Structures are given as structure tokens and as C-alpha cells.
């Protein structure tokens, strides 16, 4: 993901990367944005950070963003009490559920992991699904959900009647000491600004005092900040639109075995997780993508791997892909309507393989089996009252 973010940076924007999730290598990384869903790359990035329980911070003094695993510690400054109009407290609302992380994978060693919560109410639970054959990925999801159950702290809201100096900014740390009553809830505590609202409008002045050509103008300003305790572990995120998934795209299956025109198949073993995959080429982006080597929509009794050159529809998730369905018949094997037939095409190709065809001739079923290797041809035809075997060599 670090490489993805770097590829989308442009002049004037700097990012400091201090999050281990950004360095994880994935077999697939699909950036989904949509003008219809109004999801931009910004939305995608904030969604990713929230998905991984990371932290997004902005430092106005340097003009740089920071993506981290934890909030960055800074030195708190005193807030000018003469600028403050009101201080309110937003009480922390604790999670009232226990979380169960469930793995629907039937061979999972641990299909259910319960995460306790000291604030939970009996009978209230939240189930999270983590479908994976890999125990390490299941454990990662368990750790993520456990972090999301961390208890938070009360927040405060401050409304100003005069613009403070220095001007507060997001991620700014402050404390309420000099000039504030020691009896107020927030006195002496260090807070971090998580939201800053400033609204300005041109001051309502008499007509004789207005000068549209003046280089400066008077404004009426409303200003409010929301702040969290410095020790609050919960991350805060700006509003974002969830990116739309899956993304559908067409590709062609690749195989390293056989000749170029042969319908061979190859299974790839991933060194990272020992899982087996197909490799698919997506011409639209000229990219190779790996997808699980699995029966897909067929029963496990049928072993028919997608073959080289097979057109397939891929469903791309954020960091995974799968074959949604196949899009063509081998060897243009569609039969005419009047035959109402079915056909099974096996082998490398038209000159090296086997065809099993069942169709109707004059409303009566016919079974045809043909095995071919260059000029060597063997056929079996089964019709009403007849079984015919033929072995021949095709003449020039």
C-alpha cells in the first residue's frame, strides 16, 4: 500500500509512512474509485486506514500528512481562557457487546474466537466473519477486532467568542490550566484537537463603512473545536465514502505448460502461504493476477481447471481476486439449436484431444465420442439399436 499511496502523490503533498500495514505485501491490490458512488482516492485511503485501525494526522506547520499505527505524541500548549465562550463534555459511549470472530472455513482449526469486553451487557454480541484457510490471517483479524474494543474516554467541545492565538489546528495538543477554574472537568488534562469548525461571514457594517476595494475586510467568525484526551487510543477519521467492491474485469487464463495454442493448465503454489492459484492476464491493464485454484461453480467431483486462453470474468476485492465465471466455450463448441445437444471438450486442442457429444437426431438421442491425435482418429457412436466403433487414419 505504501507504493500505491506514493504513486498517487503529486506536488505539494507529503506523507510520512509510520504504519506496518503499509509495508505488507499482497498478491492483489485493487484501488476502487467511482464517480457514481462519489468515492475518490482520498476516500479509498481513509477507508483503508480505518479498515486497519490506523491513524491519519496532518501537521499544518510542515504541510505533511502522517499515516501511523499510533498517535504521535506532542508537547501540549496552554489555551487562552479569555477566548473561550463555553466548554461542553461529550460522554464516552462504551461498546456494549462482546465480539465473536467467526471463520466459516469448514477445516478451520479455530472457527470461533470470543473477545471479552468489560462493558458488555449479557446477551449482546457482534459477529465478525473472517473467511480464510490461513490461521495467521484469522489471528490478524482477531487482533484487529480486539483493538476496536479498546475503551475510550470522554471528549470535550469548546466554543470560542474570540479567535485564539496561536490558531488551533487538528492534532494540536493543549491543556486547560491558567485562567480556568480548577473545578471544571477538563482542568489540567491534555487534549488533542480532532475536529475544527470555522465559519466566517463578512461583517454587517453600515454602507458608509464598506469599501469593496479595500485589501482587508472585517469578518464575523464562529469557531468550535472537538478534542479528545491525549491518552485516548481510539483513532478519529474524517468523513469518507466506502469504495465500491467488487470490481469486475475480463481476463485470460495463463499456463506455462504446453504449446502456445494448446489448452493446458498450470497450478501455482504461492511461496508466502502455500496456497494454489491460477494466473490470469488482464489485457485492460496488462497485469497478471493470481486467483484461487478451486472448483468455483462446479462440484468437486469434476476436475476441470480453467485452461490457457480461457476468457474469465474476475471479481476483484481490495486485496484478493476470484474467477466469477467463464465466458466462452472451448473450441467454439456451441452446438446448433436443432440438435439440443451437450458437449464435453477435453485435451489440448482440436487435433489432440477428446470430445464427448450427446445430441438429438430426428428427436432421438445420439452419443458420439471422438479421440483424435493428429491424423489418428477413434470414434464411438451409439444410436438406437447400434453401437459403432471406428479406428482410422485421416487421409491427405
Specify if 225 maps to a domain.
no
Does 274 have pLDDT greater than 80? yes
Mean pLDDT of 14-38: 91
Specify if 122 maps to a domain.
yes
Specify if 170 maps to a domain.
no
Of the chain, the end-to-end C-alpha distance in Å amounts to 60
Mean pLDDT of 328-346: 87
Do 59 and 47 belong together in one domain?
Answer: yes
Do 272 and 339 belong together in one domain?
Answer: no
Do 4 and 62 belong together in one domain?
Answer: yes
Specify if 37 maps to a domain.
yes
Q: Residue 72 class from Cβ within 10 Å (0-12 exposed, 13-18 middle, 19+ buried)?
A: middle
> What is the C-alpha to C-alpha distance for residues 251 and 234, in angstroms, rounded to an integer?
42
* pLDDT of the residue at 396: 58
> What is the C-alpha to C-alpha distance for residues 32 and 240, in angstroms, rounded to an integer?
14
Mean pLDDT of the chain: 91
Q: Provide φ and ψ at 230, rounded to 5°.
A: -55, -30
Host H or E run for residue 142 = helix 135-148
Contact assessment for residue 327 and residue 252, using Cβ atoms and an 8 Å cutoff: no
Does 301 have pLDDT greater than 70? yes
Contact assessment for residue 130 and residue 141, using Cβ atoms and an 8 Å cutoff: yes
The 10s digit of each residue's pLDDT in 89-101 is: 999 999 999 999 9
* pLDDT of the residue at 201: 84
Do 324 and 350 belong together in one domain?
Answer: no
Percent of the chain with pLDDT over 70: 99
Among the three residues 274, 309, 328, which one is the final residue of a domain in this structure?
328
* pLDDT of the residue at 341: 92
Specify if 196 maps to a domain.
no
**Structural domains counted in the chain:** 4
Higher pLDDT, 207 or 165: 165
Per the structure block, which three cell numbers stand in for 251? 481476463
Chain centroid, CA 287 distance in Å: 19
Among the three residues 303, 328, 353, which one is the final residue of a domain in this structure?
328
> What is the C-alpha to C-alpha distance for residues 156 and 344, in angstroms, rounded to an integer?
70
pLDDT band at 321 (very low <50, low <70, confident <90, very high): very high
The residue range of the domain holding 389 is 331-393
Do 20 and 41 belong together in one domain?
Answer: yes
> What is the C-alpha to C-alpha distance for residues 223 and 196, in angstroms, rounded to an integer?
8
Do 323 and 251 belong together in one domain?
Answer: yes
Specify if 172 maps to a domain.
no
Specify if 184 maps to a domain.
no
Do 374 and 305 belong together in one domain?
Answer: no
* pLDDT of the residue at 10: 86
Provide the pairing of β-strand 84-90 with 386-393: unpaired
Find the CATH number of the domain harbouring 290.
2.40.50
Among the three residues 328, 349, 377, which one is the final residue of a domain in this structure?
328
Q: Which residues sit opposite 376 in a β-bridge?
A: 373, 393
pTM of the full structure: 0.83
> What is the C-alpha to C-alpha distance for residues 302 and 28, in angstroms, rounded to an integer?
28
DSSP code of residue 250: E
The 10s digit of each residue's pLDDT in 115-149 is: 999 999 999 999 999 999 989 999 999 999 999 99
> What is the C-alpha to C-alpha distance for residues 361 and 382, in angstroms, rounded to an integer?
12
> What is the C-alpha to C-alpha distance for residues 62 and 324, in angstroms, rounded to an integer?
46
The 10s digit of each residue's pLDDT in 27-69 is: 899 999 988 888 999 999 999 999 999 999 988 878 899 999 9
pLDDT band at 21 (very low <50, low <70, confident <90, very high): very high
Specify if 159 maps to a domain.
no
The 10s digit of each residue's pLDDT in 204-236 is: 877 777 777 788 888 888 999 999 999 998 899
Q: Which residues sit opposite 287 in a β-bridge?
A: 282
The 10s digit of each residue's pLDDT in 381-394 is: 999 999 999 999 97
* pLDDT of the residue at 200: 86
Per the structure block, which three cell numbers stand in for 167? 490558531
Contact assessment for residue 126 and residue 41, using Cβ atoms and an 8 Å cutoff: no
Per the structure block, which three cell numbers stand in for 229? 484526551
Amino acid at each position: 500500500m505504501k507504493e500505491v499511496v506514493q504513486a498517487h502523490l503529486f506536488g505539494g503533498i507529503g506523507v510520512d509512512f509510520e504504519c506496518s500495514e503499509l509495508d505488507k505485501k499482497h498478491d492483489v491490490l485493487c484501488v476502487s474509485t467511482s464517480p457514481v458512488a462519489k468515492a475518490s482516492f482520498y476516500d479509498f485511503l481513509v477507508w483503508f486506514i480505518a479498515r486497519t485501525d490506523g491513524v491519519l494526522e496532518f501537521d499544518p506547520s510542515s504541510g505533511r500528512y502522517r499515516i501511523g499505527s499510533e498517535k504521535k505524541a506532542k508537547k501540549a500548549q496552554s489555551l487562552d481562557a479569555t477566548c473561550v465562550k463555553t466548554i461542553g463534555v461529550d460522554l464516552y459511549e462504551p461498546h456494549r457487546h462482546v465480539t465473536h470472530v467467526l471463520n466459516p472455513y469448514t477445516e478451520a482449526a479455530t472457527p470461533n474466537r470470543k473477545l471479552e469486553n468489560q462493558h458488555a451487557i449479557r446477551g449482546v454480541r457482534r459477529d465478525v466473519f473472517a473467511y480464510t484457510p490461513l490461521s495467521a490471517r484469522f489471528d490478524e483479524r482477531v487482533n484487529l477486532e480486539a483493538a476496536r474494543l479498546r475503551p475510550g474516554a470522554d471528549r470535550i467541545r469548546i466554543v470560542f467568542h474570540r479567535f485564539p492565538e496561536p490558531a488551533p489546528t487538528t492534532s494540536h495538543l493543549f491543556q486547560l490550566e491558567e485562567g480556568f477554574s480548577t473545578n471544571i472537568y477538563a482542568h489540567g488534562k491534555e487534549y488533542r484537537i480532532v475536529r475544527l469548525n470555522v465559519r466566517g461571514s463578512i461583517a454587517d457594517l453600515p454602507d458608509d463603512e464598506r469599501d469593496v476595494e479595500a485589501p482587508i475586510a472585517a469578518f464575523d467568525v464562529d469557531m468550535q473545536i472537538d478534542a479528545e484526551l491525549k491518552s485516548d487510543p481510539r483513532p478519529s477519521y474524517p468523513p469518507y465514502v466506502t469504495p465500491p467492491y467488487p470490481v469486475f474485469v475480463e481476463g485470460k487464463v495463463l499456463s506455462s505448460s504446453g504449446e502456445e495454442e494448446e489448452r493446458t493448465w498450470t497450478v501455482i503454489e504461492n511461496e508466502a502461504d502455500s496456497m494454489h492459484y491460477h494466473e490470469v492476464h488482464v489485457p485492460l491493464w496488462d497485469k497478471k493476477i493470481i486467483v484461487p485454484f478451486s472448483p468455483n461453480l462446479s462440484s468437486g467431483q469434476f476436475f476441470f481447471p480453467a485452461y490457457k486462453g480461457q476468457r474469465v470474468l474476475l471479481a476483484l476485492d481490495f486485496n484478493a481476486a476470484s474467477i466469477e465465471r467463464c465466458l466462452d466455450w472451448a473450441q467454439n463448441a456451441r452446438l446448433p439449436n436443432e440438435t439440443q445437444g451437450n458437449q464435453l471438450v477435453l485435451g489440448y486442442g482440436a487435433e489432440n484431444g477428446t470430445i464427448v457429444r450427446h445430441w438429438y437426431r430426428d428427436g432421438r438421442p445420439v452419443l458420439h465420442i471422438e479421440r483424435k491425435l493428429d491424423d489418428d482418429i477413434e470414434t464411438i457412436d451409439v444410436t438406437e439399436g447400434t453401437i459403432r466403433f471406428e479406428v482410422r487414419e485421416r487421409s491427405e
